[in-house]
C-alpha cells in the first residue's frame, strides 16, 4: 500500500546544488494581505504565523492590489503631457 505524503512534504534535493527554501510571507503594503509561500528569499524581519517562523517581505504591488487583477480603473491625467507636447512643437515650427 502506498502511503500518502504528509502535509507540507517536499521532495528532498541535493543540498550542495539547490538553494534552501524558506517560509516567506509576502505582505502587500497597500492592502495588508499576506501571501504565505516558500521561497529562496530572506529578509531581516521574521514573524511567527500559525506556529511557523516566516521571513516577511514587503511588496508595494501584488495581485491583491494591482488594477489589472482587481478590475479597478484609474484615471490617468494626460492633459499636462498633451499640452507639453503641443507647446514643444509650436516652438519648433516658428
pLDDT the model gives residue 46: 94
C-alpha cell at 63: 495581485
pLDDT of residue 92: 64
The per-residue pLDDT for range 27-66, each reduced to its tens digit, is 988 888 898 999 999 999 999 988 999 999 988 887 777 6
Residue 69 to residue 85: CA distance in whole angstroms: 32
Residue of 21, 33, 25, 17 lying closest to 69 (CA atoms): 33
pTM over 0.75: no
Predicted local distance difference test score (pLDDT) of residue 32: 86
Amino acid at each position: 500500500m502506498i502511503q500518502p505524503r504528509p502535509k507540507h512534504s517536499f521532495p528532498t534535493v541535493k543540498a550542495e546544488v539547490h538553494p534552501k527554501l524558506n517560509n516567506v510571507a509576502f505582505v502587500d503594503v497597500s492592502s495588508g494581505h499576506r501571501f504565505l509561500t516558500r521561497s529562496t528569499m530572506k529578509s531581516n524581519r521574521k514573524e511567527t504565523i500559525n506556529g511557523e517562523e516566516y521571513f516577511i517581505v514587503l511588496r508595494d504591488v501584488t495581485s491583491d492590489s494591482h488594477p489589472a487583477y482587481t478590475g479597478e480603473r484609474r484615471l490617468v491625467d494626460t492633459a499636462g503631457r498633451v499640452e507639453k507636447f503641443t507647446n514643444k512643437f509650436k516652438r519648433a515650427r516658428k
